[in-house]
């Protein structure tokens, strides 16, 4: 009788342990399922970065105007944008098609997956003033809720308290471009003056040679 009672108690204990284990497993599975559902929902809500082609004609442009990093070996990560062809592109395009810090250049004239070759090709085409076609992926976009809050806060701002900074920046950029153009013109003028001086010196040398020839003839 004692043995039977002990066996029954052991079996009951094992049944309770199995029940507790199944409950813990069910809770764990439920938790994992809820985490996966939350991730899937977040992935749907988070908009994908925009990809576009940035076509640049380097004729008349002195520089591309971007600082890049190619640590990943497959793309060019844009760290900064300065005076140059890219800044001119951005000025004429909507914000979603602008090349800005955080963007990635995925291909240069069809060449992709080798950041060193892409950077070298950019340098060559800038030097030869050729055509550049950059396949660009914009920086990650904020979730819709954050974007909506940002737009609403921008609308609620008073124009008197918050003057249009973009227009001011554009004016400053135009002034900088005008300064660069005037400097280029001055440099060209200086070069023309140097050429004229060199030509004048050559003419004077020719005159001196002619005089020496005339003197030699008179002596004869």
Q: Looking at residue 175, what is its pLDDT?
A: 75
Whether 132 shows a pLDDT value over 60: the answer reads yes
Q: Looking at residue 109, what is its pLDDT?
A: 93
**How far is residue 171's CA from residue 81's CA, in Å, rounded to a whole number?**
17
Q: Which tops the pLDDT comparison, 143 or 100?
A: 100
Q: Looking at residue 168, what is its pLDDT?
A: 65
Q: Looking at residue 165, what is its pLDDT?
A: 58
**How large is the average pLDDT for residues 52-77?**
90
Contacts (Cβ under 8 Å, ≥6 apart) of 111: 117, 118, 121
CA 7 to chain centre: 74
Cβ neighbour number for residue 86 with a 10 Å cutoff: 26
Q: Looking at residue 140, what is its pLDDT?
A: 77
Q: What is the pLDDT of residues 48-60, one digit of tens each?
A: 788 999 999 988 8
CA 41 to chain centre: 29
Contacts (Cβ under 8 Å, ≥6 apart) of 144: 45, 47
Q: Which tops the pLDDT comparison, 72 or 167?
A: 72
Spatial CA neighbour of 55 closest among 127, 166, 2, 132: 132
Mean pLDDT check: name the lowest of 102-116, 145-159, 182-196. 145-159
Whether 40 shows a pLDDT value over 80: the answer reads no
Cβ neighbour number for residue 1 with a 10 Å cutoff: 5
Q: What is the pLDDT of residues 166-201, one digit of tens each?
A: 566 667 777 777 777 777 777 777 777 777 777 777
Q: Looking at residue 160, what is its pLDDT?
A: 43
Instruction: Give yes or no for a contact between 14 and 61, defined as CB atoms under 8 angstroms apart.
Output: no
108 band by pLDDT with thresholds 50, 70 and 90: very high
Mean pLDDT for the chain overall? 78
In this prediction, what percent of the chain has a pLDDT beyond 90? 30
**How large is the average pLDDT for residues 112-139?**
91
């Amino acid at each position: 009788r004692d043995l039977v009672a002990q066996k029954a108690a052991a079996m009951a204990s094992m049944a309770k342990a199995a029940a507790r284990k199944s409950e813990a497993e069910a809770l764990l599975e439920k938790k994992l399922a809820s985490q996966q559902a939350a991730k899937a929902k977040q992935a749907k809500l988070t908009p994908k970065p925009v990809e576009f082609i940035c076509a640049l004609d380097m004729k008349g442009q002195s520089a591309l105007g971007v600082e890049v990093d190619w640590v990943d070996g497959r793309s060019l990560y844009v760290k900064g944008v300065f005076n140059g062809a890219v800044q001119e592109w951005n000025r004429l395009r909507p914000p979603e098609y602008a090349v800005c810090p955080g963007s990635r250049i995925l291909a240069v004239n069809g060449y992709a997956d080798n950041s060193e070759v892409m950077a070298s090709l950019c340098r060559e085409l800038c030097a030869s003033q050729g055509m550049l076609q950059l396949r660009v992926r914009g920086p990650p976009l904020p979730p819709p809720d954050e974007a909506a809050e940002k737009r609403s806060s921008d609308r609620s701002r008073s124009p008197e308290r918050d003057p249009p900074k973009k227009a001011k920046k554009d004016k400053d950029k135009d002034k900088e471009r005008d300064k660069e153009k005037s400097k280029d013109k001055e440099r060209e003028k200086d070069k023309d003056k140097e050429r004229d001086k060199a030509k004048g010196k050559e003419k004077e040398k020719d005159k001196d040679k002619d005089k020496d020839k005339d003197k030699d003839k008179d002596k004869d």
